[in-house]
Structure 1
Amino acid sequence: MTNQFLWVIFPYICMATFIVGHIFRYRNDQFGWTAKSSEFIEKKQLMIGSILFHVGIIPVIAGHVVGLGVPKEWTRALGISDHLYHMGAIWVGGLFGFMTLIGMVILTWRRFALKNVRQLSSASDLIVNSLLLLIVFLGIYSVVVTNAVQPEFDYRDSISVWFRSLLIFRPEAVYMSAVPLAFQLHVLTGLLIFAMWPFTRLVHVWSVPLNYVGRSYILYRKNRVN
């Protein structure tokens, strides 16, 4: 029953919340669809952390898409052996993963440690930063430590197959039963951040400033001085 909830019910709840939540947020809170930048308070750490995080996270996301969505038979057909793929995942994925982790450490420390930035932050900002840091750490730990301790484990024979079974609405929770704990926690926290996404500043990821071109109005916010 626990397996069914964690690897079937919970993922679908997160997916549904992600989709419906974005639609609701966009229809009811377009002016809140923003990153609410704190750059005017502190720039240096924000710039360093943001560059490291964004440069690292793009290849990491691409690696996840390939690793989860592309069956190993397809990569073999392209002439990429399992060993070569594994080495690429560890060394290339590890490099960009560490870059992402360092960026998140800087951004999270900045948000919690700098008083002015913390005061500007909402509770969801602090939770999202902490959760993203945990997700990235678990991902690095899984790739570096768990793969070293359990070299026989191949996530493409378990996690990837389970993930694709969800997409075709034929979920197979059994594939996750023997997955190492670090990988399981990485997956669960990843699903959780997707469920939270529509209700946080993460929605700014989908924003493209082209919609400001030709806009006939500007919204000003006045600060009251008591």
Structure 2
Amino acid sequence: MSKVKLFSYWRSSCSYRVRIALNLKAIPHEYVTINLVKDGGEQKKDHFLKINPFGFIPSLEVNGDNNQNQIFESLAIIDYLENINPEPSLYPKDLIDRANAIAITESINSGIQPLQNLFVLAEIENLGGNKDQWAKQLITKKFKSLENIMTKTAGKYCIGDTITIADVFLVPQVYNAYRYGVDMSQYPTIERVNKLLEEHEAFKAAHPSVQPDAPKQ
């Protein structure tokens, strides 16, 4: 197995996804903290922009200290992990299940998380809005659609009874929902699946509260 280094931040939901995938696939890795809030954000500093010119985390470095071996964007990273370590697979073999897993994943990846990330929330605040209220209302609205989808696809997990990439993306987004005070009782399917996943060792080990850079309680 190649040397793997994850540039992460404890409360980053996108990094949280990759931590889950690394754990599910039992891939050893080094954790490198990029503090998103200290001194205006380390992700904006020159040393990190050489790693990821977009200034976002997570970023995954493979095969040693070489910026050309950086993979960024959580979905691309997880796709890479899937290919280097195909088992257990995060994609269902059944084509309809696979399509549904990707649809749920993309609804979170494109339709929810980007609209409540740090950059967007800062812009909302700059325009005089309430960033926390924005995030809460956004997630509340989007989760209504997600709940409707999952009532049709879920078994124990998002897609039947096997953990898939949809679950990897769901749990960090639910973490954000709780953070912004969303009433999760409105979404019984999402809440049930999330609670079960939170008991899985790979998800527990990826939780923000147990990361090395998480604030000490």
* TM-score for both structures, normalised by structure 2: 0.34
Asked which structure has the greater CA Rg, the reply is 1
Determine which structure has the larger strand proportion and give its number: 2
* TM-score for both structures, normalised by structure 1: 0.33
Determine which structure has the larger helix proportion and give its number: 1
